[in-house]
Amino acid sequence: MSFISVTNITNFQPLQAIVGQEVEITAAVQPSNATNRNIVWSIVSGSGTIRQQGTGANARFFLTATGTGTINVRATIANGVAQP
């Protein structure tokens, strides 16, 4: 089987979160048959935490705002493709 790299991360929508409540963050990996489809989420700026539930392709991610204002998150894949 050949390695198929990720070319883009799409379908991430801006969210509104209330301080202290979790919201699920999602995105789609392109192409859909990429070898490594595991998204790694990180907070670039703002006050919040990210919690992972599950592992691998079945993992789900939740953002909790811990303060008021804007939180910027980044989705990355091991091959370096990112979308803020």
Q: pLDDT, tens digit, for every residue of 27-80?
A: 999 998 888 888 889 999 999 999 999 987 788 999 999 999 999 999 988 665
pTM given for the model: 0.83
The domain in which residue 29 lies consists of 8-78
Going by pLDDT thresholds of 50, 70 and 90, the confidence category of residue 23 is very high
Does residue 41 lie within any of the structural domains? yes
Does residue 1 lie within any of the structural domains? no
CA angle 59–30–76, rounded 5-degree value: 55
Does residue 40 lie within any of the structural domains? yes
Q: Per the structure, how many domains does the chain have?
A: 1
Does residue 3 lie within any of the structural domains? no
Does residue 84 lie within any of the structural domains? no
Q: What is the four-CA torsion angle of 54, 25, 8, 72, rounded to 10 degrees?
A: -120
